[in-house]
Chains A and B, each alone.
Chain A
Amino acid sequence: MTYEEKLGRFNEHIALGGKVETQDWMPDDYRRGVLKFIEMHANSEIMGALPERECLPFAPSLQRKMSLAAKIQDEVGHAQLLYRVAEDLGKSREAMFVDLVQGRSKFHNVFHYPVHQWGDVAIIGWLIDGAALVTQAALLDSSYAPYTRVLKRICTEEQLHLRHGEDITLELASGTDAQREMFQEALNRWWLAIIHFFGPKSNVEKDLLLRWKVKTRTNEDLRQEFLDRYVPKIFELGFHFPTPTPHSSEDGHWLIKDEDIDWEPLNSIKKNEGPETERRLSNRRAIYEDHRWVREALSEPAVHAA
């Protein structure tokens, strides 16, 4: 069978809702695209652990500190699952780590920003994990089946994180003026980055991952679901939004005008030039070097059992 014939059959399989397993034939662009996508997701889980780790000293009680530490461990665990799926597509974990710490690969925009106080944990846990859950739940039906199987587990844990974040939010929202201010101030700083999180409007014609159903929904569609779900909850708690401000439409949606969104910060982050990119990557590099002895000790069978 020629490459074109194989490609034709693959496209037909996908069009009919078919799934792809690691050992199946797939076009090179599909393999490359899925690998890059999952690698970026894995990078984001592991880089996402860093800002939250920086928040640990802000925890108001031992209980809060322990639950946040457990949540951070979950995020690192997600990275482990995702790197494993990506590895099976032909790139070693070593190569992915090196690309990450050298700044050659990407991670989600929200993890390029600094953290300041405990209110940031509420925003990350509730709104950023909420945004992540909207996008990840949409991927549960992705055409690349091994990815969907680990996502199932990841989404279950993210749902717990969402509760954890909402719990912290509600504590601040029902607390003192200073506590409420803590949340509002964090919301003001994070809101634009959360809107950026979903990315600019998808190019349905050109986006191969959409065409091959690796991604199932457009960026703007996912952002809309997030806005409709979370904007009323935030208003209900008596908080308000900075620019870009959501407006209610006649048919019951919460809309943000595209021209109200300043995309410049996202464009810098895409070039790995965000406010905290360099510091976080050097942090990750230091951890990677510090742990070298662990990897080396593990690379030989049974030496640890001697």
Chain B
Amino acid sequence: MDVYEVFRRGGHKEPFEHCGSVIAPDSEMGLLMAKECFLRRREGEHLWLVRRTDIHSFKDESLLEIAADKSYRFAHAYRDVVKKRDKARERARELGETG
């Protein structure tokens, strides 16, 4: 018997989401059990079953931390764009007056 993790997709615009697990002798029975446990009310239109041992993840979650300052990858690094826009307009006006 193996533990299978169950993933369910609510609709075509949704990603698959983990919804639980079942223990089954093989994937065919596992799918049947998953349907009974997680889809009795048609809560999704598709099911995935993955053997738990086939899932790979970081043993040490601290490895998920970002190694250095990479704030340039985030929107908040660009939040003074409004100020900068004003400054650029100011500069353009100056050029307009002189040129």
Which A residues are within 8 Å of any B CB, using their own CB? 73-74, 77, 80-81, 84, 87-88, 93, 149-150, 153, 298-302, 304-305
Contacts and interface: CB of A to CB of B under 8 A. Distances in A.
B76 to A, nearest CB: 24
B67 to A, nearest CB: 23
A161 to B, nearest CB: 13
Contact of A84 (B21, B28, B29): B21
Interface in B35-66: 36-38, 40
B23 A302 contact: no
Interface string B66-95: 000000000000000000000000000000
Please report whether the interface of chain A is mostly helix, strand, loop or mixed according to DSSP: helix
Nearest to A302: B26
19 contacts: A73-B40, A77-B37, A80-B37, A81-B20, A84-B22, A87-B23, A88-B21, A150-B20, A153-B38, A298-B1, A298-B24, A298-B25, A299-B1, A300-B25, A302-B25, A304-B28, A304-B29, A305-B26, A305-B28
Question: What interface size band does chain B fall in?
Answer: 10 to 19
A77 B25 contact: no
Given A81-B20, A149-B20, A150-B20, A301 B40 contact: no
A212 B13 CA distance: 39
Given A77-B37, A84-B21, A88-B3, 12 more contacts: A73-B40, A77-B36, A81-B37, A93-B23, A149-B20, A153-B19, A153-B20, A298-B1, A298-B25, A299-B25, A302-B28, A304-B29
